[in-house]
A and B are shown apart, each in its own frame.
Chain A
Amino acid sequence: NVEPRSLQVFPWHSLVPFLETSQSN
Chain B
Amino acid sequence: APLSPSSALPSFFMKGSIIQLADGELKRVEDLRTEDFLQSAEVSRELKIDSSTVERIDSSRTPDAVIIQFSVGEHKAQVCVEVLVEYPFFVFGQGWSSCCPDRTTQLLALSCAKLSVGDVCISLTLKSLK
Q: What is the interface of chain A, defined by CB distance below 8 A to chain B?
A: 7-25
A12 partner residues in chain B, CB cutoff 8 A: 19-22, 32, 36-37, 40
Main secondary structure of the interface of B (DSSP, over half): strand
A4 vs chain B, min Cβ distance (A):
15
A24 touching B130 in the complex, CB below 8 Å, given contacts A12-B40, A19-B123: yes
B47-72 Cβ-contact flags toward A at 8 Å (1 or 0): 10110100000000000000000101
Q: In the assembled complex, which residues on chain A have CB atoms less than 8 Å from the CB atom of B129?
A: 20-24
**A25, B125: Cα distance in complex, Å:** 14
Query: Interface residues of A: mostly helix, strand, loop or mixed?
Result: loop
B21, chain A: closest CB distance, angstroms: 5
> Chain B 61-86, CB within 8 Å of chain A: the 1/0 string?
00000000010110101010100000
**Cross-interface CB contact of A21 among B20, B32, B72, B89, cutoff 8 Å:** B72
**Given A23-B75, A24-B129, A24-B130 in contact, is the A15-B18 Cβ separation under 8 Å?**
no
**Which B residues are CB-close (under 8 A) to A19?**
50, 52, 70, 72, 79, 81, 123-125
